[in-house]
Copies of this chain bind each other. A is one copy, B any other.
Amino acid sequence: MADVARLAGVSQTTVSFVVNNIEAGLPESTKRRVLEACAKLNYSPNEAARRLASKISRAIGLAIYDIMALANYRQSAGVVLASVYQAAEARGQRLQIYTTHERKENGTDVGTYFAVPVRSREVDGIVIWDQYVAEERVTAAFEEGLPIVLLDRRIGEVPAVVPDYELGFSSLADSLLDRGYERFCLALRRGSCYRDVHAKEAFISRVTSKGLPANCIDIVELDIEAEVGPTLDSEIADRMLSTNPQALVCTYDTIALAAMAAFRKRGMRIPQDIAVVGCAGVPAAADPEYDLTTLHIRYDLMADHAVDMVLRMVKGERVSGSCVAVAPELIVRSSA
């Protein structure tokens, strides 16, 4: 930088102003001279130094549970990462990736505990997309004052961006009812996952409010750790078909895709013998072999909100308790 200043015949301060595009009323001629000197010397400001001096890093982190989920096309990891990257880049932020999955090595946790990089100012803040990380960890980090935002999950007062499942599953119910479906199987995860709880509630209340009996919806709770793989146990498929439903509504695309494959193996046609609907909008849902009707979670819009919130927290704004709900989009394809 000193070299640039010397070559341009100005002080370091001036170079700094020009490089950082700071409005100090510098005449165009000075700016040009500095820029030319930069180009001639192939100068790029040292990022560590500017971070140290300015106390911000212009980088944010994305904490995801398991990086290998990126290679799983039945999960949304790739979509989430790409969306957050684009949101970050659009706001001039670098993106750094962290894994929250805990790993132990001779006793001590070597996993990248997501609070560390933001505490050490490696990133200014972090977006957390992880269904499994313990609530206390997140709460503790938030109470420490670290800029963190949850994606697709809600924990206490921690700022969050979630899909509007009420709206989504209500309109899904409307759409199915409009098209004459009257007997449903609702497949969801056992437990009290955010999505399953809200989806179930919304779907049932909309269907019954339209005058159909509550028993027209058969609930199947699946004991799946994470998202199911490419196949579904035969007895689960039996269970789904036991009340002879006209449509299978799943809270996850992965379940829907696995069910489609299981049904087809039995010679059933989709949607003639049974319609299938999923939720997420994973890449595989759009595959012509599946062509799954799904409630598409708008991770692109969610990422924009999440990054904005992080940046606002970095600036010191109070965002405690704020939660943005983004409407999912019903994508009707040939499976229902």
Contacts and interface: CB of A to CB of B under 8 A. Distances in A.
Interface in A51-91: 51-52, 57, 59, 67-68, 70-73, 77-79, 81-82, 85-86, 89
A230 B85 CA distance: 25
A155 interface: no
A53 to B, nearest CB: 8
A218 to B, nearest CB: 26
B86 A82 contact: no
B85 A46 contact: no
Contacts of A81: 67, 70, 81
Interface of A: 42, 44-49, 51-52, 57, 59, 67-68, 70-73, 77-79, 81-82, 85-86, 89, 94-97, 99, 112, 116-117, 119-122, 144, 230-231, 261, 283-284, 286-290
A71 B67 contact: no
A70 B82 contact: yes
A47 to B, nearest CB: 4
Given A70-B70, A70-B79, 15 more contacts: A42-B119, A44-B116, A45-B120, A47-B57, A47-B117, A47-B120, A51-B51, A67-B82, A70-B78, A70-B82, A71-B283, A95-B97, A230-B287, A261-B288, A289-B290
Contacts of A284: 73, 284, 287
A89 B67 CA distance: 11
B57 A48 contact: yes
Contacts of A71: 78-79, 82, 283
B45 A68 contact: no
Given A89-B112, A261-B288, A284-B284, A44 B97 contact: no
A283 B254 CA distance: 14
A144 to B, nearest CB: 7
Nearest to A144: B42
Contact of A86 (B67, B72, B77, B119): B67
Contact of A52 (B46, B286, B290): B46
Contacts of A287: 73, 230, 284, 287, 289
A291 B152 CA distance: 32
Contacts of A119: 42, 44
Contact of A230 (B96, B117, B286): B286
Contacts of A120: 44-47
A17 B68 CA distance: 35
Contacts of A144: 42
A117 to B, nearest CB: 8
A227 B52 CA distance: 43
24 contacts: A44-B116, A44-B119, A46-B121, A47-B51, A47-B57, A47-B122, A48-B51, A48-B121, A51-B51, A59-B96, A67-B81, A68-B82, A70-B81, A70-B82, A71-B82, A72-B78, A73-B78, A85-B97, A89-B99, A89-B112, A95-B97, A96-B96, A230-B286, A289-B289
